[in-house]
Amino acid sequence: MGMRGTVILLLAPMILLTWQAASQNSCDPGWFGSLCQYKCRCRQNKCAANGVCTNNASCEGGWFGPACQYADLAFRSYTSARWQSQDGDDKTCLTSSDSDSITVKLNKTYHFSWLRVRLSNPDLLYNVTVYFRRDNSLNCTNKRTSRVDNTTLDIHCDLHAKVNELTLSGAGVPHLCSVYISGGRNLALRQNTTQSSLYELFATSDKAVDGNTDKAYTKKSCSHTEGGKDYPNLNLTLSRPQHVTRYVIYNRSNRRDRLKGFVLTSYSQSLTPVFNYTDRKASAQLVYTVIADNVTVPTYLVNVVATDTREKILTLCELEVYGESACPPGQYGRECEHTCNCAGDQSCFVSTGGCSSGCAAGFQGEDCMTRCDPGRYGLGCQSSCSQFCVRDNDTRTDFCNNTNGACLYGCQDGYQGPTCTEGTSLAFNHIQN
Ligand SMILES: *[C@@H]1O[C@H](CO)[C@@H](O)[C@H](O)[C@H]1NC(C)=O
Ligand SMILES: *[C@@H]1O[C@H](CO)[C@@H](O)[C@H](O)[C@H]1NC(C)=O
Ligand SMILES: *[C@@H]1O[C@H](CO)[C@@H](O)[C@H](O)[C@H]1NC(C)=O
Ligand SMILES: *[C@@H]1O[C@H](CO)[C@@H](O)[C@H](O)[C@H]1NC(C)=O
Ligand SMILES: *[C@@H]1O[C@H](CO)[C@@H](O)[C@H](O)[C@H]1NC(C)=O
Ligand SMILES: *[C@@H]1O[C@H](CO)[C@@H](O)[C@H](O)[C@H]1NC(C)=O
Ligand SMILES: *[C@@H]1O[C@H](CO)[C@@H](O)[C@H](O)[C@H]1NC(C)=O
Ligand SMILES: *[C@@H]1O[C@H](CO)[C@@H](O)[C@H](O)[C@H]1NC(C)=O
Ligand SMILES: *[C@@H]1O[C@H](CO)[C@@H](O)[C@H](O)[C@H]1NC(C)=O
Ligand SMILES: *[C@@H]1O[C@H](CO)[C@@H](O)[C@H](O)[C@H]1NC(C)=O
Ligand SMILES: *[C@@H]1O[C@H](CO)[C@@H](O)[C@H](O)[C@H]1NC(C)=O
Ligand SMILES: *[C@@H]1O[C@H](CO)[C@@H](O)[C@H](O)[C@H]1NC(C)=O
């Protein structure tokens, strides 16, 4: 006994040091971000430090977009297509014998902001039209697109209506491989929380935003207030301005009656209520989805109160708050940390950094931050560098400026000018001879 105690005392400081060193630049497995506040949504937790999937891993089913952080509302919902275009698998595609119109019915009625289509035929990428009702009476208002890559297009619409059905039609539809409909990101993860009291030591309020939706209390991932106290409630404070569109509450799987009649209120910074919801469902739910009014406030406080008067307990196995960052124009990203790079200095989409005006000259890719491939330059990377530029033997390196095509290593003999397209007098003589 005595010896074992000594060994532990010696080891403990070393373990602590190692742990501190590791925690400064790495997160718990399955998390990423500067504050380790984002949950990895790649299959088998294969995330790099920026959340992007490593080793060609794809997003977990039900997630898509940058770092797989966007919930896919179309995932495994009903579609009229013979094959499941919303199965989250980009490798299963429709074929040219299929209909040029498909309908996707969502499980619920949601706010709509954007969708992503992936096609097997890059030539028909822009030949997909979106309607939101079966009679095509609701169009994609103010439609804007941004090309992610050869076969992937994001389509944004400004709808002032909630929808539960979409129709895609056009020549591109028989070549569809995937349809993803954005339900926003979960903004609540690892944000600050408080609750009115504590039952067991492990049932702290942060368990409601730990990304673990397990509904069994004994698995220790639910929050739980002490019984018998009035107004059992939990507060969540979002740390930055957001557009909130949806709340999802995971109920405990046993102890039936506690959430019935719960009240959810969101407040602005000045504690003005900006959204209210009172549960009036006749029957109990395992998961409650509350569609919010889309309001933006600098700081957003979400308060959930249990109103059951028998036990007076609030247990939340998870509280998810879906929406999107509210970034100043010209910025994008989960923390608005990036600057747009669009043609004509236009603003980009906050979700991806993609541009409806196209990328600035010299850039391409989902967020317009990838330089043109070697040998290409200009708007849409459409132009080829002059064949008279001096080249590095390594074909992977640029030999002209990605923006304006100026040759980086000078011109081959006989040519001059920034883009080496003018013949020198020497070359001129040569031609004349
Ligand atoms: C990723 O996929 C590409 C193309 O399919 C393949 O060439 C490459 O080897 C893959 N990389 C890994 C690490 O699996
Ligand atoms: C829609 O409902 C189906 C069937 O219940 C379910 O498998 C799927 O996950 C749901 N999708 C979403 C996005 O809620
Ligand atoms: C919410 O409102 C903002 C600001 O008006 C808008 O940019 C965004 O697209 C809206 N989101 C949804 C899902 O309607
Ligand atoms: C695809 O759309 C383009 C214009 O966006 C149009 O010129 C072309 O004819 C369409 N192709 C087909 C096959 O419908
Ligand atoms: C929707 O678009 C179609 C085709 O462009 C048009 O005929 C129809 O009038 C539009 N409907 C509404 C409600 O704007
Ligand atoms: C994408 O298109 C470009 C030009 O159209 C082509 O050079 C490139 O090989 C394509 N990439 C893929 C992955 O198909
Ligand atoms: C939680 O609150 C503390 C104190 O106000 C603050 O320093 C911290 O940044 C907050 N954390 C998050 C994730 O917002
Ligand atoms: C949550 O915030 C509301 C509004 O400010 C306040 O009345 C309540 O006491 C707070 N609850 C907790 C547990 O902090
Ligand atoms: C969840 O909460 C409701 C409402 O209080 C309750 O009646 C229900 O039985 C709980 N559990 C399940 C599994 O639905
Ligand atoms: C929310 O409910 C409170 C109390 O019933 C009410 O005073 C307030 O106006 C409501 N706010 C909104 C945004 O509905
Ligand atoms: C390219 O390769 C040739 C022959 O291998 C060599 O003479 C020349 O210096 C190389 N040029 C550059 C720019 O590396
Ligand atoms: C390309 O040209 C632009 C505009 O003149 C300049 O700002 C940029 O630094 C150049 N890039 C390289 C790699 O030389």
Ligand 12 centre distance from Cα of residue 403 (Å): 7
Atom of ligand 11 at shortest distance to CA of 393? 1
Please report the pLDDT score of residue 18 as a whole number.
Answer: 39
The most confident of the ranges 5-19, 112-126, 227-241 is 112-126
If pLDDT is split at 50, 70 and 90, which confidence band does 73 have? very high
Q: Which residue has the higher pLDDT, 84 or 413?
A: 413
What's the average model confidence in pLDDT over 143-149?
95
User: Which residues form ligand 4's pocket by a CB distance below 6 Å?
Assistant: 126-127, 171
Atom of ligand 11 at shortest distance to CA of 409? 13
Ligand 4 centre distance from Cα of residue 127 (Å): 6
Order of strands across the sheet that contains 287-297: 185-186, 318-325, 242-250, 287-297
Instruction: Decide: 107 in ligand 2 pocket, CB within 6 A.
Output: yes
40, 248, 267, 359 from 273: Cα distances, Å: 33, 19, 4, 40
Please report the pLDDT score of residue 60 as a whole number.
Answer: 94
- Three-state DSSP at 45 gives helix
Ligand 6 centre distance from Cα of residue 60 (Å): 26
- Ligand 5, pocket-test mutation among 101, 137, 139, 159, most atoms within 8 A of CB: 139
Closest CA to 172 of 127, 133, 142: 127
Please report the pLDDT score of residue 84 as a whole number.
Answer: 63
pLDDT higher than 90, residue 230: no
Q: Does domain 3-18+191-325 have CATH number 3.40.50.720?
A: no
Adjacent-strand bridge partners of 154: 116, 146
Atom of ligand 9 at shortest distance to CA of 286? 14
Atom of ligand 1 at shortest distance to CA of 56? 1
Task: Judge whether 199 and 225 are in contact, CB under 8 Å.
Answer: yes
If pLDDT is split at 50, 70 and 90, which confidence band does 294 have? confident
Atom of ligand 3 at shortest distance to CA of 158? 9
Token pair for 43: 């299959």
Instruction: Give the torsion through C-alpha atoms of 269, 272, 275, 279, to 10 deg.
Output: 110
Task: Judge whether 133 and 139 are in contact, CB under 8 Å.
Answer: no
The conformation of residue 360, written as its DSSP 8-state character, comes to P
Please report the pLDDT score of residue 409 as a whole number.
Answer: 92
If pLDDT is split at 50, 70 and 90, which confidence band does 85 have? low
Instruction: Decide: 193 in ligand 8 pocket, CB within 6 A.
Output: no
30: burial class by Cβ within 10 Å (0-12, 13-18, 19+)? middle
pLDDT higher than 60, residue 64: yes
> Which residues, other chains included, contact 47 with Cβ-Cβ below 8 Å and sequence gap of 6+?
30, 32, 40, 41, 53, 54, 67
Same fold for the domain at 3-18+191-325 and the one at 82-185? yes
Exposure letters 195-209 (e unless 16+ CB within 10 A, then b): bbbebeeebbbebbb
Instruction: Decide: 403 in ligand 12 pocket, CB within 6 A.
Output: yes
If pLDDT is split at 50, 70 and 90, which confidence band does 129 have? very high
pLDDT higher than 50, residue 24: no
Token pair for 181: 């409909």
What's the average model confidence in pLDDT over 20-36?
74
Please report the pLDDT score of residue 21 as a whole number.
Answer: 36
Please report the pLDDT score of residue 299 as a whole number.
Answer: 76
124: burial class by Cβ within 10 Å (0-12, 13-18, 19+)? middle
Closest CA to 251 of 240, 262, 241: 262
Q: How many residues does the chain have?
A: 433
User: Which residues form ligand 3's pocket by a CB distance below 6 Å?
Assistant: 111, 113, 243, 245, 294
User: Which residues form ligand 7's pocket by a CB distance below 6 Å?
Assistant: 191-192, 239
Ligand 10 centre distance from Cα of residue 194 (Å): 22
pLDDT higher than 70, residue 12: no
pLDDT higher than 90, residue 296: no
If pLDDT is split at 50, 70 and 90, which confidence band does 83 have? low
Distance CA 395, CA 401 (A): 15
Ligand 10 centre distance from Cα of residue 276 (Å): 6
Q: Kindly identify the ligand whose nearest atom is closest to the C-alpha of 126.
A: 4
Instruction: Decide: 75 in ligand 2 pocket, CB within 6 A.
Output: yes
Q: Whose CA is nearest to atom 12 of ligand 4?
A: 171
Order of strands across the sheet that contains 192-195: 192-195, 233-238, 300-305, 263-267, 273-278
pLDDT higher than 80, residue 121: yes
Atom of ligand 1 at shortest distance to CA of 55? 13
If pLDDT is split at 50, 70 and 90, which confidence band does 34 have? confident
> Which residues, other chains included, contact 221 with Cβ-Cβ below 8 Å and sequence gap of 6+?
207, 210, 212, 213, 214, 317, 318
Closest CA to 415 of 395, 387, 384: 387
- Ligand 4, pocket-test mutation among 127, 145, 147, 153, most atoms within 8 A of CB: 127
Distance CA 377, CA 132 (A): 38
pLDDT higher than 80, residue 110: yes
Instruction: Decide: 285 in ligand 12 pocket, CB within 6 A.
Output: no
Domain ranges in the chain are: 3-18+191-325, 82-185, 372-433
> Which residues, other chains included, contact 13 with Cβ-Cβ below 8 Å and sequence gap of 6+?
none
pLDDT tens across 244-277, in order? 999 999 988 776 567 888 999 999 888 899 999 9
Q: Which residue has the higher pLDDT, 246 or 95?
A: 246
What's the average model confidence in pLDDT over 210-215?
90
Secondary element (H or E) of residue 14: helix 2-25
Q: Whose CA is nearest to atom 1 of ligand 11?
A: 393
The conformation of residue 135, written as its DSSP 8-state character, comes to T
Ligand 12 centre distance from Cα of residue 426 (Å): 29
Closest CA to 255 of 209, 317, 174, 347: 317
Atom of ligand 10 at shortest distance to CA of 265? 1
Please report the pLDDT score of residue 175 as a whole number.
Answer: 92
Ligand 11 centre distance from Cα of residue 363 (Å): 28
Q: For the ranges 5-19, 157-171, 187-201, 211-225, which has the lowest average pLDDT?
A: 5-19
Please report the pLDDT score of residue 89 as a whole number.
Answer: 67
Q: Which residue has the higher pLDDT, 296 or 163?
A: 163
pLDDT tens across 329-361, in order? 999 999 999 999 999 999 999 999 999 999 999
Average pLDDT in the chain: 87
Query: Considering Cα of 337, then 341, then 347, then 349, what sign does the dihedral take?
Result: negative
Fold that domain 82-185 belongs to in CATH: Jelly Rolls (2.60.120)
Closest CA to 176 of 243, 269, 83, 254: 83
